[in-house]
Amino acid sequence: MTQQQLLLRLKDLDEQTARYETQRQRNGLSAYEERLARVSEELSVKTARIGLIESDSTETELAEIEKAIARLEGSLSRSTSYDTALLKNELAPLREQKAALEDRALHQMLELEELQPQLPGLRASLLEVQQELEEARPEEQERLDNLTMRLEALARERGEVTALLPQEVVNVYAKTGRVDEIKQGRCRCRLEVPDHFQRQIRAGNAWVCNTCGSLIIQNLNP
């Protein structure tokens, strides 16, 4: 192989390597992991909300108020006319509190009725996604192993190719990662390439420009 062919092969190997590296960075399980996080978050938020409602003191407070009201109403039935006005004054705010508590209890009941039936479905989804994730793991591992194998093969061939090129050419390529074409006898930097170097380039050799440090070959797409 000429230096030009070797350099183009080197470029090709590096491009493939970059592609496989990108594929290896990608997490093939991320869709499952995101779904798992979403379902588990929803389940924990709803479970916590149910716990909060169930441990709420509304029912106890309501029972206390009802007892107080019953007591006052008992006194009212036995009271004199002077006491009646006082007792009625005491009763009014208690009845308001009772109404507010009943309202709250009703809302909590409705919320529980909405939330509780959702839990079994969410638990089932959680198990399902967990299972899907576990099932996807071996396939993902296989994908990664396959990429690693290909990358190792590319690295081996890269070693073979660079060993066949002059050290200076390899160094320049390593520094810039690029190879350029000679155009109308000139380098990228417009410098006219001396005749005998042009002949060498035509023969398939690579040439390093002293002025701009470019790596020049005859044809990028031979």
Site for Zn ion in 1-60 (CB under 5 A): none
Task: Report CA Rg, the chain.
Answer: 41
Q: Minimum CB separation from Zn ion for residue 2, in Å?
A: 21
Q: Minimum CB separation from Zn ion for residue 191, in Å?
A: 5
Question: Mind giving me the DSSP string for 129-167?
Answer: HHHHHHHHHHHHHHHHHHHHHHHHHHHHHHHHHHHHS-H
Site for Zn ion in 163-202 (CB under 5 A): 187, 189, 191
Instruction: Mark out the alpha helices in 55-116 (DSSP H runs).
Output: 58-77, 81-115
Please say whether the beta carbons of 101 and 65 come within 8 A: yes
Residue showing tokens 């230096």: 3
User: By rule CB under 5 A, what count of residues binds Zn ion?
Assistant: 7
Q: Minimum CB separation from Zn ion for residue 209, in Å?
A: 3
Q: Minimum CB separation from Zn ion for residue 203, in Å?
A: 19
Nearest CB to Zn ion, comparing residues 58 and 214? 214
Q: Does 212 bind Zn ion (CB under 5 A)?
A: yes
Nearest CB to Zn ion, comparing residues 38 and 199? 199
Nearest CB to Zn ion, comparing residues 165 and 191? 191
Give the bridge partners for 183, in sequence order.
186
Nearest CB to Zn ion, comparing residues 148 and 211? 211
Nearest CB to Zn ion, comparing residues 103 and 192? 192
Please say whether the beta carbons of 122 and 90 come within 8 A: no
Let me know how long the chain is. Answer: 222
For binding to Zn ion (CB under 5 A), which residues are involved? 187, 189, 191, 209, 211-212, 214
